[in-house]
Amino acid sequence: MREKILYSLGIVAALFLARNIWKMLVGLPDEAFQGAIFRVIFFHVPAAFTCFACYLTALIASISYLKSKNLKWDSLSVSATEVGLAFGAANLVSGMIWARIIWGIWWTWDWRLTSSLICWLLYAGYLVLRRAVEEPTERARLSAVMSILSFSVVPFVFFSIKWFRTQHPQPVLYGEGKMDSAYRSMLYINWIPLLMIAVIFVAVRMLQEKRQREIDALRRTVHAF
Amino acid sequence: MRALAVEGVWKFYGDYPALRDIGFDVQPGQCVALLGRNGAGKTTLLRILAGLSRPSKGAVKVFDKDHLDRSARSAIGIIGHGIGIYDELSALENLRLFAGLYGLQSPDKAAHQWLERTGLERVKDGLVREFSRGMRQRLAVARAFLHRPQLLLLDEPFTALDDRAIALLQSLLKESLAQGSTVIMSTHQLREALELATHVVLINRGKLAHTGLRTQEMLDDPTYLYRTYGEA
Amino acid sequence: MRALAVEGVWKFYGDYPALRDIGFDVQPGQCVALLGRNGAGKTTLLRILAGLSRPSKGAVKVFDKDHLDRSARSAIGIIGHGIGIYDELSALENLRLFAGLYGLQSPDKAAHQWLERTGLERVKDGLVREFSRGMRQRLAVARAFLHRPQLLLLDEPFTALDDRAIALLQSLLKESLAQGSTVIMSTHQLREALELATHVVLINRGKLAHTGLRTQEMLDDPTYLYRTYGEA
Amino acid sequence: MLFFRQVATVAAKDLRSELRTKEALNASLSFALVILLLFSFAFSPTSDMTREISGGLLWLVFAFAGALILNRSFARELENDCLDALISSPVSSPALFLGKALANYVLLLGIEFVCLPVFGVFYNVSWAQQLPSLALVLVLASWGVSVVGTVFSALTVNMRLRELMLPMLVYPILIPCLMAAMQLTTPLLAGEPLTGDLFAWLRLLVGFDIIFTALAVVLIDTVLIG
Amino acid sequence: MLFFRQVATVAAKDLRSELRTKEALNASLSFALVILLLFSFAFSPTSDMTREISGGLLWLVFAFAGALILNRSFARELENDCLDALISSPVSSPALFLGKALANYVLLLGIEFVCLPVFGVFYNVSWAQQLPSLALVLVLASWGVSVVGTVFSALTVNMRLRELMLPMLVYPILIPCLMAAMQLTTPLLAGEPLTGDLFAWLRLLVGFDIIFTALAVVLIDTVLIG
Ligand code: HEM
Ligand SMILES: Nc1ncnc2c1ncn2[C@@H]1O[C@H](COP(=O)(O)OP(=O)(O)OP(=O)(O)O)[C@@H](O)[C@H]1O
Ligand SMILES: Nc1ncnc2c1ncn2[C@@H]1O[C@H](COP(=O)(O)OP(=O)(O)OP(=O)(O)O)[C@@H](O)[C@H]1O
Ligand SMILES: [Mg+2]
Ligand SMILES: [Mg+2]
């Protein structure tokens, strides 16, 4: 039942995304300065926001785990972090492609870019840390702490363009950057399917985690004399 | 007042329950032998009692206070697998350190007193690193008894000790039992443990299998317990 | 041919002689209990016999070959404090690895055979990390017996094992003794050791204090040995 | 009151056992020298370039050498199960943590004050021109490093790959702190005073210290008692 | 023949247990990324400067990340006293050593081949212009690092400050090797072919490899059997 709902949601999200892409390619004109590549922004920015949303979810789940000691929160935390990493990677890669075309280089040690990368590495570290702890409860506890500590970098990513002079465009959504309203609404609208996809992934990963726990418990009983 | 009250304690490692609804009381002055086969959950239980680990469910009360409470902790003395003593400090420094941490009135006096009682007075300024195994074990005992704990938790204290070291430990334990302390010890060396114990708690795969007085039958044949209350 | 010949072995840690002129012979088929108080030098001696450490003076011969010789090593099986098994590999992979290192003709067959004999056949593909203590101990035994060693060296094999695990180990040892292997084991659990032993070697602060047959007196009262040959 | 006495006792114990053997201290000092050397090979710095990167270089060395000290901090307690003895005593986890962080802090500062003159000699930098400001930066940034490092030392102490985990996890979190320290140190080493722009970095350092000290004190109990 | 089979068995075991968990691999990869990041802050490389120091930067990263792998090499055997089981088996010490060195070598090369493209992207270096020569340098220098690192891993495995001792001892010895690798890598990354002067460095690398492999094989028995 749950799987069916997830799959149908997935189909809806995919259709929505297809519609958006169609609109983007056909409905919207090229941007004046950057040309066709500008359309990357419709993925670049929503991916970043989705990624932050995932990290926030992981933070909340981690705190909840420490409060309730219920391993469900732990699975939510890993799942959200993994999906967040995927969207973080999407943001980084789309940004890099964009940078290659607009700036002519793949990467520059600009604060926004760098802090995004740090953040990505930290959460990747979270996953590495999880592998180093055998026992599930201890793993959940320690990685919850790690998740809480990691989140402290997220505001840094967010505000880095405010605090430092950067090459990265200024935020258009809340800051000094400017953007045509047609582009802007496209940005928002494209965020919806991405967020849906993230939610579906998280749900699927949580199911997997649950199965994995069940399998582990079974295997333990087999392996215990 | 009960020295120790274990109330419906569960401990999960992941989904695997290492302790399942353990509950028993210990009155002051009792000496409890905590028995069970490999992997029964003895160490897990003792670590919870010592406040080194939190139960997943249930509560542990030490002299009617929560076991993680500061005053409960000052009433507890532990000897685990490791000796809990710093190799780079001298015997005296080690004891003074723990006396300080336990907030004793006169750390120095307590330290010297226990050095004397364990026969380490003459090497008190020697670094622990240079001590032999027997001396280290004595120091561990001194550390555990230093603050006159009312509840002693010992995890396999006789393991890998020779006859003399066992005799020393047994005599110290007897003495502090006589002074009204409570002792809980896990072990596989049934003979040594049962000689001392007044009560027995048997755990079987995380479940309480038997709790009661130590009887003569057990002394005569240590495997009696496993045969009667354990699994085939 | 002697299974083992220890000739005037000394071992110094710095200036401290942990072993002083130890010398004794062991004939094939004997089961020797290596006894001594804490710090007597049992582990030091066993490590030298196993080729893990070189004597400072003296020589050790295993079946008339130097103990560091390759063919001497293939004749030896050891069980130390650790199990000597890799946590990240499966039970089968572990045994196959050691079978390979020992140059057995058919590593796979030997591995399977010993998995079966120790009752681990059904979990052969499980990672050792997930095994319980009893199962790990079995695997360690399988590893040590895999290449049919003629000389088994065991350092405190009964420590921290429960009654069932001890029984298993004892039965395996008995069997391999019956097949003509030689066993040398150190232990503080005199009762378990003396039941099995045919001979006794007692070390006292690095010096050989007694070597000879195990007698009935020792069985009746394990402390007899220390009282008779040990120091006050 | 008791709390601070306990903090002091723990810190004194750590410092005493470290100063008795001086093992970690010696090792990380010589490690620091070795990487100073490695860097000078790797970048064969001209005086111009050195001027530009001196702060970065110095803090990299501190970060690498510091990780070794921090790694030891809780690992030191494992040897004889001393950590169990400490936790089962009536010392609260925050007191234990702050004591250890304090000891690490002192050791770290010690290493830094030895490395500075050496660095000055190797790279021909007259580092003492702005000593008070430089000291301020060292004091603030080292506290950040100690606090974060000590938390992670506690977090990783029972892990299988402790010595690998600590640096991997700790450096990314430290980057804001190290970055600020680098940015501040470079001009200070060049003899320029602290001015306008640099105060922003100083604020970042202070903020970092406060936030992570608070987070650490809140979380440490969870980390230590499973 | 038996010798080589044993070497292969030992190497296969190490690789298998590492690849099963990928712990050390993951950790040292992300550590490599983190220090790439740290360096970029510390030196905020302009494109000119990057060109000059790229070789140095890269080899520093390899050296630091490699130390983590090497540290694990013998430490991995400690967990269940596996080292005793290995040594008491009829495998000769040199075979054991070469097997482990080989496994480390493969892991190290793996890390290097992942780091290179990342480095290229981050520092905007087109590194693939002289691929065969670059591969040659990597192959030669990494063998030197593996051999020396594995010896020291064995030497320090039973020390109290293992994780501290290894880097402290190993880097100074590795300096000739790293130096040569750096000097060779910088021009190769810039797209210049190997010419006259550089062959001297290449010879140094080969000499280093041969000498230390020989020394290691001769000395390892003493190191392992006390
Ligand atoms: C690898 C490189 C890049 C990374 C990691 C990156 C990261 C981010 C992140 C995290 C955000 C969303 C957060 C926020 O809006 O505050 C963002 C937004 C944005 N990025 Fe990037 N970016 C990269 C490259 C680029 C490039 C090359 C461009 C264009 C030349 C660009 C243009 C934008 C724009 C216009 C926004 C929207 C800002 C807003 O509306 O708030 N980014 N980027
Ligand atoms: N850190 C851990 N992670 C996972 N499982 C654990 C952990 N510690 C203990 N267990 C499991 O909990 C159970 C109880 O273990 P415990 O160590 O308490 O047994 P014990 O009675 O002390 O055994 P022994 O007599 O062998 O010391 C065992 O099945 C063990 O595998
Ligand atoms: N690595 C070492 N460095 C210095 N001294 C050592 C070392 N190993 C052992 N010793 C010393 O050598 C002597 C013999 O130690 P050994 O471990 O062999 O005793 P043992 O008979 O096995 O004792 P136990 O019954 O406690 O295991 C002891 O005095 C010990 O302190
Ligand atoms: Mg136990
Ligand atoms: Mg011994």
Q: Which of A135-149, A151-165, B2-16, C129-143 has the lowest mean pLDDT?
A: A151-165
- Nearest 5°: phi and psi at D80? -110, 30
Query: Distance, CA A139 to ligand 4 centroid (Å)?
Result: 21
Say what the pLDDT of residue A185 is.
83
What average pLDDT does this structure show over E176-188? Answer: 92
- DSSP H or E segment with residue C79: strand C76-79
Structure tokens at C109: 């067959």
Say what the pLDDT of residue E89 is.
93
CA–CA separation, E97 vs C31, rounded Å?
35
What average pLDDT does this structure show over C200-208? Answer: 92
What average pLDDT does this structure show over B81-92? Answer: 92
Structure tokens at E82: 């596996």
What is the pLDDT of chain C when averaged over all its residues?
90
Specify the higher pLDDT residue, E45 or B142: B142
First to last CA, chain B: 38
Q: What is the pLDDT of residues D111-164, one digit of tens each?
A: 999 989 988 888 888 888 888 999 999 999 999 999 999 999 999 998 888 888
Structure tokens at C175: 């069997």
Mark the residues whose beta carbon lies below 5 A from ion ligand 4: B 43
Rounded to a whole number of angstroms, the distance from the CA of D102 to the nearest CA of chain B is 17
- Say if residue A39's pLDDT is above 70: yes
Q: What is the pLDDT of residues D84-115, one digit of tens each?
A: 999 999 999 999 999 999 999 999 999 999 98
Looking at all shown ligands, the one closest to residue A175's CA atom is 1
In single-letter form, the type of residue at position E157 comes to: V
Please indicate if any CB of chain A lies within 8 Å of the CB of B82.
Answer: no
**CB of D27 closer than 8 Å to CB of E170:** no
Return the best residue to mutate from C20, C22, C38, C44 for the ligand 3 pocket (most ligand atoms within 8 A of CB).
Answer: C44
CA E142 to chain centre: 5
Q: Roughly what angle, to the nearest 10 degrees, separates helices D47-78 and E162-189? A: 150
What is the pLDDT of chain D when averaged over all its residues?
90
- Domain positions in chain A: 37-160+180-224
Return the best residue to mutate from A100, A108, A114, A168 for the ligand 1 pocket (most ligand atoms within 8 A of CB).
Answer: A168
Question: Does the distance separating the beta carbons of D159 and A133 come in below 8 Å?
Answer: yes
% of chain C residues with pLDDT over 70 = 99
Say what the pLDDT of residue C199 is.
94
Q: What is the pLDDT of residues B127-136, one digit of tens each?
A: 998 888 888 8
Say what the pLDDT of residue A176 is.
58
Say what the pLDDT of residue B216 is.
86
What average pLDDT does this structure show over D53-62? Answer: 88
Q: Which of A121-125, B79-83, D42-46, D77-81 has the lowest mean pLDDT?
A: D42-46
Alpha helices in C6-132 (DSSP H): 42-49, 70-74, 91-101, 107-117
Ligand 3 site, residue C20, Cβ cutoff 6 A: no
Most confident of B81-85, C92-96, E66-70: C92-96
Q: What is the pLDDT of residues B32-69, one digit of tens each?
A: 999 998 889 999 999 999 999 999 999 999 999 998 98
Say what the pLDDT of residue A76 is.
97
- Say if residue C153's pLDDT is above 70: yes
Ligand 3 atom nearest to CA at C45: 18
**CB of A120 closer than 8 Å to CB of A92:** yes
- Strands in chain A per DSSP E: none
Say what the pLDDT of residue B149 is.
93
pLDDT band at C232 (very low <50, low <70, confident <90, very high): low
Specify the higher pLDDT residue, E91 or E165: E91
**CB of B46 closer than 8 Å to CB of B53:** no
Task: Kindly report the length of chain B.
Answer: 232
Query: Which DSSP symbol is given to D192?
Result: P
Name the one residue in this structure whose structure tokens are 């149908």.
A8
Q: What is the pLDDT of residues A1-38, one digit of tens each?
A: 788 888 899 999 999 888 888 887 887 777 666 777 77
Q: Which residues pair with B118 in a beta bridge?
A: none
**Is the backbone of residue C119 left (phi > 0), alpha (psi -120 to 50) or beta?**
left
**CB of B91 closer than 8 Å to CB of B115:** yes
Q: Which of A160-164, B117-121, E153-157 has the lowest mean pLDDT?
A: A160-164
Structure tokens at C226: 């220390």
Cα dist. B42→A159, B5, B202, B204, D145 in Å?
52, 16, 9, 10, 40
Q: Which of A136-150, B188-202, E5-19, E32-46 has the lowest mean pLDDT?
A: E32-46
- Say if residue A175's pLDDT is above 60: no
Closest CA to C169 of C151, C196, C131: C196
Say what the pLDDT of residue A130 is.
93
Say what the pLDDT of residue D177 is.
93
In single-letter form, the type of residue at position A91 comes to: N
Query: Which DSSP symbol is given to B35?
Result: E
Question: Does the distance separating the beta carbons of A224 and C132 come in below 8 Å?
Answer: yes
Specify the higher pLDDT residue, A169 or A117: A117
In single-letter form, the type of residue at position B217 comes to: E
Q: Which of B226-230, D217-221, E189-193 has the lowest mean pLDDT?
A: B226-230
- Say if residue B84's pLDDT is above 90: yes
Half-sphere exposure in the Cβ direction for A222 (13 Å, CA): 15
Structure tokens at A83: 């999906």
- Say if residue C97's pLDDT is above 70: yes
Cα dist. A185→A28, A43, A52, A91 in Å?
11, 13, 20, 19
Ligand 1 site, residue A146, Cβ cutoff 6 A: no
Cβ atoms within 10 Å, residue D99: 25
Q: ipTM greater than 0.95, yes or no?
A: no
Rounded to a whole number of angstroms, the distance from the CA of E73 to the nearest CA of chain A is 16
Say what the pLDDT of residue A174 is.
62
Closest CA to C50 of C40, C62, C38, C37: C62
Question: Does the distance separating the beta carbons of B93 and D80 come in below 8 Å?
Answer: no
- Nearest 5°: phi and psi at C26? -130, 130
Q: Roughly what angle, to the nearest 10 degrees, separates helices D23-43 and E162-189? A: 0
Ligand 1 site, residue A98, Cβ cutoff 6 A: yes
Nearest CA to ligand 2 atom 27: B38
